[in-house]
Amino acid sequence: MATIIATTRPLPLPEMELAGRQVRFVHAEAGAVPDGAVALLSTAVDPVDAALISTLPDSVGLIANLGVGYDNIDLAAAAARGLLVSNTPVVTEDTADLAFALILAACRRVGQGERFLRAGKWNETGTPPLGTRVHGAKLGIIGFGAIGQAVARRASGFGMTVLYHNRSRKPVQANALSARYCKDLAELLAAADIVSIHAPLTEETRHLIDADALAACKPGAVLVNTARGPLVDEDALIAALETGHIAAAGLDVFSEEPSFPEALLAMEQVVLTPHIGSATAQCRTDMVQRGIANIAQFLETGTIRDMVPLGRE
């Protein structure tokens, strides 16, 4: 008899054996997880809410999430059902690559310049749009976990001054990266030329960057978000972009994905990407392998390598 693993969406997974048994992956359409399934393999963009968790058969003991973030899962509901939850913390370098790509693209108006060329305006006017210097700038990093630190490492190659704001000070990591701690978010925002967001999404951090935070930013600052869309009040950001207080933005995440504010489409100074922080062939392979490894360990020992704490929603 095969081991059944339900998935929240169709995934190109190879045939395999786990714990000596053949595995059958079953797409749980409309959340219908079949009886006998031992785990739910979800992606970070698929909601695993209390309603879905309440319908899981008793055979399910693990929600294995493909992604380092897990705000798509109702952790309180999972805890109430006695479920374990795992994630895949293997996206650090790829996400940091994208964050820095957006820093460069937003500051140097790469998208706008390409559209300028494609529209034939180079021949007409010969004056492409001017951007903002990146090398030597002050980079403010909000959230100094693995990804934030990886962005700081990249910043060192550009001779940037790195500031960071985090729930707690990280002196060892900060010293290694020559980063200065800002206890107050407003202090970082007032000083940074470029702000890059890498905080987790919690009820406390939702709309962390709101109208007041944007007003506290240095005039002409550039904002980049590769973390989670709801960390930023999108209406407030649009207003700040319209006035020019925020000069440009690079956004990979949005509050209501896959939907996003139509107003952003008309803004030449904004670079938009469709949540592709981990979207390299190598990273996606690493994520699947890590997710499957968590399931295999769960089946063999009842434990998982990448345990998500269930005590915090």
Which residue numbers are catalytic? 228, 257, 275
How far apart (Å, rounded) are the C-alpha atoms in residues 165 and 179?
10
Distances from the Cα of 310 to the Cαs of 40, 78, 80, in angstroms? 16, 8, 10
Alpha helices in the chain, H assignment, sequence order? 50-55, 75-80, 92-107, 110-118, 121-125, 146-156, 171-177, 185-191, 211-216, 234-243, 281-301
Which distant-in-sequence residues (6+ apart) come within 8 Å of 86 by Cβ?
62, 63, 64, 65, 291, 294, 298, 304, 305, 306, 307, 308
Q: How far apart are CA 77 and CA 7, in angstroms?
A: 19
At residue 155's C-alpha, the angle toward residues 149 and 157, to 5°, is 125
Spatial contact of 82 and 54, defined as CB atoms under 8 Å apart = no
| Residue 305: C-alpha distances to residues 18, 87, 90, 145, 295 (Å) | 16, 9, 13, 19, 9
Angle, helices 146-156/92-107, rounded to nearest 10 degrees: 50
Q: Which helix (H) or strand (E) holds 251?
A: strand 246-251
Distance CA 91, CA 147 (A): 8
Residue among 175, 186, 250, 242 at smallest CA distance from 218:
186
Token digits of residue 81? 């059902």
Find the angle CA(51)-CA(276)-CA(191) to the nearest 5 degrees: 105
Compute CA 94 distance to the chain's CA centroid, rounded to the nearest angstrom.
Answer: 11
